[in-house]
Amino acid sequence: MRVLFLGDIFGRPGRGLVTGTLRQVRRDLELDRVVANGENASGGIGITAKSARQLLESGIDVLTGGNHSFRHKDIAAFFEVSDRLLRPANLPEGAPGAGWRIFRPTGGPPYAVVNLLGRVFMDPVDCPFQTAESILAGIPADVPVRLVDFHAEATSEKKAMAYFLDGRVSAVLGTHTHVQTNDAQILPKGTATLTDCGMTGPAASALGMDPEEVILRLRTALPQRFVVSRTPPEMQGALLDIDAATGKVVTISAWRHA
């Protein structure tokens, strides 16, 4: 089972690259599934229902979220009706939508996708470690392929989660920082991990935004209106080959495509 996990899709440039090229990428890489973090797909912060529909129609099987998932008001209703759009599972009780799901596609092996939000340097949410334990208890044994999007700021928290879930999930893939790391590996008990999958958006930018406004904000400490960079976009993510019978990842690598 070959899976591509795309790092945070950012703004119109990221959406345009995905909608324009992902179907060809699926063919070229012979992908079985594509999972992507889409929480910054609309204007670089949050995701609208229109953007979510567009991305799900472009060849993405499952969209995950993060701390900006509910930035746009219209997305709450879409979370309630779409079974392919996830928000962090450890948000406080009452949040619309679901934080994890099991998918049983026709003609393919079943798989589970879990979306978790970190707490270090982030807004307070429920404990992601306790939430992960609870979710794993609800995934049946006939679904060994289990992908976790851990949307978190701190490298230490992401690494800790990967080791915490080692041997119990197929992969723990980090998102949120928009900077792809170079530490793709398979841990001792068989779980694959990449601290951050990076960003699907304008490559020559400050995390997706025009650098000039970001520099001015950092130099003056005064508020600035950040603008999505118009530089050419790039897809970044993790490419995994998974033994569908056992859920074990055979290979994982950081992946980029302009």
Q: How far apart are CA 38 and CA 172, in angstroms?
A: 17
Q: With contact defined as beta carbons under 8 Å apart, do 168 and 145 qualify?
A: no
Cβ atoms of residues 199 and 228 within 8 Å: no
Structural domain spans, the chain:
2-257
Q: Decide if pLDDT at 244 tops 90.
A: yes
| 142 within 8 A of 102, measured Cβ to Cβ | no
Q: Would you tell me which CATH number, out of the four given (2.60.40.10, 3.60.21.10, 3.40.50.880, 3.50.50.60), belongs to the domain 2-257?
A: 3.60.21.10
Average pLDDT over residues 37-60: 97
Q: Give bridge partners of residue 193 from the DSSP assignment.
A: 172, 185
Mean pLDDT across 21-45: 97
Catalytic residues: 68
Nearest-angstrom CA–CA distance, 83 and 9: 19
pTM over 0.85: yes
Find tokens 């499952």 and name the residue: 62
Judge contact between 226 and 91, C-beta under 8 A. no
* pLDDT band per the 50, 70, 90 thresholds, residue 61: very high
pLDDT per residue as tens digits for the range 64-120: 999 999 999 999 999 999 999 999 999 999 999 999 999 999 999 999 999 999 999
State in Å, rounded, how far the first CA of the chain is from the last one: 24
Angstrom distances, CA of residue 221 to CA of 44, 206, 214, 224: 21, 16, 10, 9
In the chain, where do the E strands start and end? 2-6, 8-9, 33-37, 62-64, 100-103, 111-117, 146-151, 171-175, 185-186, 192-194, 199-202, 233-242, 249-257
Looking at residue 217, what is its pLDDT? Answer: 93
